[in-house]
Chains A and B, each alone.
Chain A
Amino acid sequence: EENTRKHDEL
């Protein structure tokens, strides 16, 4: 899923 995109939040 696109949610495994790089986590951009702390």
Chain B
Amino acid sequence: MNLFRLVADLMHLVSIFILLLKMQKTRSVAGRCSRISFKTQALYATVFLTRYTDLFANFQSLYNTTMKVFFIASSLYIVFLMKFKFKATNDPRLDTFKAQYVVGGAAALALIVNYAFTVQEVLWTFSIYLEAVAILPQLFMLTKTGEAEVITTHYLFALGTYRGLYLVNWIYRYWTEYYVDWIVWIAGAVQTGLYCDFFYIYFTKVLKGAKFELP
């Protein structure tokens, strides 16, 4: 474990707490002008369920196991809140990104490009590829609604920063322990790349107190 990865995981936790706070506070998934994509949250739940199949078989540390359990539980809880508790405020007509394309694409690629053709390894690889593009329905929704509440932008900032810091963690681990993992490196770079234009707007507008509005 290194500081970069620890802070990255904490930013991931922060993003989940921001989302839960927003949903509890506004008691909905659609604030005045910003909406949370159910598809993205469902994709994240899938990512954690397919990635942590080794939850009991592969004990790394108490931290690792605790975080895995938290990510699985929180992502399922968010899906539950969106699907049942705040269902009335969830408008599927705005969540129009074709999620089946990213799921199909990630599954196909995981069957072709993986480290071992075993069920667990292919599921793990699928979760890595899926996580890279899971934010697309959410970003797509932002482009449709054209603007987002500030708290939603902080959610996206934390989420984007988490994987961005993992990139730094991988550079550090390559440099210190010759750690190489092409699959997570490339997927992580794609994932962080998807946030670039969001980060640009976030830093140039939201942090200056302006509303988050897409040009």
Q: Do A and B come from one complex?
A: yes
Interfacial residues, chain A to chain B (CB-CB below 8 A): 1, 3-4, 6-10
- 4 nearest A-B pairs in the assembled complex, by CB-CB distance: A3-B115, A4-B116, A4-B115, A6-B58
Question: Is B189 in contact with chain A by the CB < 8 A criterion?
Answer: no
Say yes or no for B22: interface residue by CB 8 A criterion: no
A10–B58 alpha-carbon span in the complex (Å): 12
**How many A-B contacts if CB must be within 8 Å?**
27
State A1–B180 Cα separation when bound (angstroms).
11
Interface string of B112-152 (1 = CB under 8 A from A): 00011010010010000000000000000000000000000
- Chain B residues touching A, range: 20 to 34
- Whether B204 sits at the interface, judged by CB under 8 Å, is no
Complex CA–CA separation, A7 to B58 (angstroms)? 8
Interface of B is mostly: helix
A1 to B182 Cα, complex, angstroms: 12
Cα(A6)–Cα(B71), bound, Å: 19
Give A1 to B113 CA distance when docked, in angstroms. Answer: 13
Given B5, B64, B116, B124, which contacts A1 in the complex, CB threshold below 8 Å?
A: B116
Contacting residue for A10 out of B71, B118, B181, CB 8 A: B71
A8-B64, A9-B166, A10-B9 known; 18 new pairs, CB 8 Å cut-off, are: A1-B115, A1-B116, A3-B115, A3-B180, A3-B181, A3-B183, A4-B116, A4-B121, A6-B54, A6-B58, A6-B60, A7-B54, A7-B124, A9-B5, A9-B184, A10-B64, A10-B67, A10-B71
CB nearest to A1 among chain B residues: B115
Chain A positions within 8 Å of B5 at CB level = 9
B154 at the interface (CB under 8 A from A): no
